[in-house]
Amino acid sequence: MQQTLDQQRQQTKTAAVVASVLWVLTTILGIFTIIYTRIVIFRTYIRFVPEGANALSLFNIIIVLVMASFFIAIVIGGVEYHRTRYGSPQSWRIFAIVLALEIGIVLLPLFL
């Protein structure tokens, strides 16, 4: 009986470490997502408005502020969601969805 409790505690600690590492990796990937999405938006803007290249610095600031705000909200919301549903299948499903979306956004410039 004691051995089972010790195994459960060890599994809980391992799951907590794995979840923390995954959220850190998701956060880092989110930063790359902001960079690559900004590149996609710039490419599109330059293609359709070539004479508007002078406004790119202001456009850059606006894009980064909006995307960073969304990113911070998603990270905080994700951590709170995971904290309340720790160890449940819904928690791991959120990890999978977030990672799939971020990897898709990072790969998007390759296809445009």
pLDDT digits over 67-77, tens only?
A: 888 888 877 88
Burial of 30 from C-beta contacts in 10 A (0-12 / 13-18 / 19+): buried
Q: Is residue 97 part of a domain?
A: yes
**Residue range 8-19: average pLDDT?**
78
Q: Which domain holds residue 35?
A: 21-111
Which tokens belong to 95? 């990890």
What is the predicted pLDDT for the residue at 1?
Answer: 57
For residue 69, tell me if it sits in a domain.
yes
Residue 30 placed within a domain: yes
Nearest CA to 63 out of 87, 38, 95 is that of 38
Tally of CB atoms within 10 A around 82: 20
How does DSSP classify residue 54? G
- Does 64 map to a domain? yes
Residue 14 included in any domain = no
What's the Cα-to-Cα distance from 82 to each of 9, 79, 91, rounded to whole Å? 19, 5, 5
Whether 9 is in a domain gets the answer no
Q: What's the pLDDT tens digit per position in 18-68?
A: 877 887 888 888 888 888 888 888 888 878 877 776 777 788 888 888 888
Asked if 45 contacts 59 with a C-beta cutoff of 8 angstroms, the reply is yes
Number of domains in the chain: 1
